[in-house]
A and B are shown apart, each in its own frame.
Chain A
Amino acid sequence: MKINFKKLLSRNETVLIFAIVIFAFVIGSKSPEFFTLANLFDILRSSFVQLLFALGVLIVIISGGIDVSFPIVGIFAGYTAVVIMQKFELNGESLLIPIVLAIVIGVLLGGFNAIAIAGFGIPTLIATLGTAGVFRGVMLSFVGASFISDIPIALDKFSTADLIKFESEAGTLVRLHVLVIPIAVITVLISLMLSRTFFGRSIYALGGGVESTRRLGISVKRTQTKIYMLVGGLSGLAGILYVSLQRKANPYDLAGSELDVIAAVVLGGASIMGGYGTVFGTVLGVLFINMIKNNLVLLGVSSSWQRAAVGVLLVIGITIQAISENRKNRQRRSATETEGE
């Protein structure tokens, strides 16, 4: 019983929950606005797009890779879907058409990543850095480089589709966006996929070791191809939802946001070496980062220092992870040494 408790304490998720609770109390004691439903729903709303990206990044990181092209894939898919809708005068009332378009574009772009990574075995960071440059350059020179404010009606309307909407006693509008349901469903599905399906387990196996995965009889190339296409699709979906929530399609957006998402996933306990990571941890990581970003101002940190604050958190997060990893390795080594004697 005692051992289980210790194990539970040393888990990344537990640490994160503690961190979230402590931060919540610190911020809440400074300003009572923090503990309102409106603020909670705001944090949720700003987490939707990031969470979708983060789930994609989680899958890639578990498989032992790293992807820095996903924000570009997202905005490419979202922006291009809007451009196609306008050019071919597709039914603007339909919400399904742009979403399907964006997912298809995302899967295609993910396919390019898959060719570079699975087909040619290029290191994932270098491959996705390269493809990110290509995607961004192609989008801005061939698809369009101008800001679109009159996005299709359905997408525009969707940004204010609220599940719960009422005025609180203080007079502020409390809104919970309807997206909370599909995002929750996707999160659960990905969690089930990772833990219950053969594909999910081969992702973990791949992160544990490429050669051993091959010896197990799992096709490394096929698994990698599926991973990058799936992540492309997720990014595409995130991109079009971003466009819808922002009510504008700006091709310069999202670029540079990859760090925050990777930070959330790593803080959530996923091992950058691959083979370990949980959806629950990622969800907590995303919520944690968004809670801090949304409320640093309440804490008295000026907006210009926010990036530095995120940087400090990241450095602390990876340091804690590295130290616990080092300790585990040392224990393992000493265990084998005593066995040898």
Chain B
Amino acid sequence: MSNSLQRFTTSGLLSDRKVTQLMGFTVLTFVVFSYFSSDIFFSRENFQSMAYQVPEVAILSIAVMLSMLTGGIDLSIVGISNAAALMAAYIMTQNMTDEGKISNTWILIACLLGISLGLACGVINAVLISILNVTPILATLATMTLFNGIAIGITNGESISSLPEQFVRIGNGTFFGIPTPFVLMIMIAIVVGFIINRTSLGLKVFLIGTNRKAAQYSVMGDRKVIAWTYILSGFLSSLAGLIIASRTSAASPDFGNSYILLAIVIVVLGGVNPMGGFGTVTGVILATIVLQMVASGFNALRFSQFLYLAAQGGVLVLVMMLNVVLERIRVSKSINKSLGS
């Protein structure tokens, strides 16, 4: 098997190629579905609805990517986003007048409290993983149950609907003709991209993901870096939760359970190495768009939603298999080359 150094250099060299491949894949998916469903898929309404659905999934996927870059994983994203959305929704509905009127200040307070809850959840994950040394999978599996349980407990398992009009307008409105959630997603992508590519924190994230031991020996404060990724992941998840609540005008403790699988599929398809050390925000956004097109396309072609579920799982396994096969070919080629010379 190739060692970490080799993995780092090969994936580093291939970084651009991976995004290019994905762009080709995006165009291909687009053409295929437009061809087979020219009336429904290739329509203005469909593109618009896709632009409203992509952001929440993309933001959750970016959250998963952050934890995966250090070689961990965050399974509690959906639990956090639902808890944050419920918190905000609860405060809003409590402070609404009977006619459904509410001041903008209360909406702001509700959103801020929702986000702080997300941050608090992120801190719990961070404490478990970086201070107590619990394996990320296990820690976030447990906190996922915990956050979900708290959300169910607060609302008795029921959802909160008919949120105030001003709040709903954010998620369904446009900003210079572009859906507001989409604009938010682009902003988040740029900020996260800046953090992981241009700051020392980002560099440390990649170094820890590539080789934790080496990172420890170089005394870069690996625990602190890992803690930050989970706090950031909690923050992003709560934002995604607020966007979902705003778009659907409801918050529910069991909303979007399938998003965990979807987010991991997207992250892996987007070229992030699940063992850590490599990944790009561009790749993740492109992968989200591909999967959204597949979902809308399946919908337009009247395939069942369960077939889409199977397709998600299939894509995940196949992409991983393809990566392994390509890696093996590359290794054997480089061995042959060095033997030949």
Contacts and interface: CB of A to CB of B under 8 A. Distances in A.
Interface stretch (B22-30, B94-102, B139-147): B139-147
A304 B153 contact: yes
Contact of A138 (B142, B153, B261, B310): B310
Contacts of B321: 116, 120, 122
Interface in A164-193: none
Interface in A304-323: 304-312, 314-315, 317-319, 321-323
A130 B314 CA distance: 6
6 contacts: A120-B325, A133-B265, A136-B313, A141-B307, A145-B306, A312-B146
Contact of B135 (A131, A136, A145, A273): A273
Given A123-B275, A262-B141, A326 B317 contact: no
Given A66-B137, A133-B314, A318-B142, 18 more contacts: A125-B73, A126-B268, A126-B274, A129-B260, A132-B261, A133-B309, A134-B317, A139-B306, A272-B137, A305-B153, A314-B142, A314-B145, A315-B128, A315-B142, A315-B146, A317-B142, A318-B134, A322-B133
Shortest beta-carbon contacts, A-B, top 4: A137-B310, A133-B313, A308-B149, A311-B146
A319 B317 contact: no
A141 B317 contact: no
Interface string B231-265: 00000000000000000000000000100110011
A325 interface: yes
Contact of A322 (B134, B143, B147, B261): B134
A263 interface: yes
Contacts of A306: 149
B146 A116 contact: no
A21 interface: no
Residue among B139, B275, B316, B317 with max Cβ neighbours from chain A (10 Å)? B317
Contact of B310 (A133, A302, A317, A319): A133
A325 B306 contact: no
B304 interface: yes
A256 interface: yes
Contacts of B156: 304
A266 interface: yes
Given A137-B307, A140-B304, A311 B142 contact: yes
B12 interface: no
Contacts of A315: 128, 142-143, 146
B152 interface: yes
A129 B261 contact: yes
A41 B309 CA distance: 39
A311 B145 contact: yes
Contact of B132 (A136, A256, A326): A326
| Chain A binding surface SS class | helix
Nearest to B147: A311
A238 interface: no
Contact of A309 (B147, B149, B320): B149
Interface string B144-177: 1111111011001100000000000000000000
A318 B314 contact: no
A305 B156 CA distance: 8
Contacts of B150: 308, 311
A121 interface: yes
A17 interface: no
Interface in B47-96: 73
Interface string B314-327: 11110011001100
A256 B138 contact: no
A40 interface: no
A122 B132 contact: no
Contact of B320 (A127, A139, A140, A317): A127
Nearest to A314: B142
B188 interface: no
| Chain B binding surface SS class | helix
Nearest to B314: A134
Contacts of A308: 146, 149-150, 152-153
Interface in A134-155: 134-141, 145
Interface string A100-123: 000000000000000010001111
B43 to A, nearest CB: 26
B210 to A, nearest CB: 16
B42 interface: no
A263 B145 contact: yes
A37 interface: no
A134 B142 contact: no
Nearest to A311: B146
B184 interface: no
A131 B132 contact: no
A8 interface: no
A259 interface: yes
A124 B157 CA distance: 32
B180 interface: no
Given A129-B261, A311-B142, A318-B134, A120 B313 contact: no
A259 B152 contact: no
Nearest to A301: B153
Contacts of A132: 261, 313
A138 B313 CA distance: 10
A141 B304 contact: yes
A249 to B, nearest CB: 17
A137 B321 CA distance: 20
Interface in A4-42: none
Contacts of A138: 310
B232 to A, nearest CB: 21
B148 A311 contact: yes
Interface string B18-36: 0000000000000000000
A326 to B, nearest CB: 6
A208 B313 CA distance: 29
Nearest to A112: B317
Contacts of A307: 145, 148-149, 152-153
A137 B142 contact: no
Nearest to A210: B1
B311 to A, nearest CB: 7
B229 interface: no
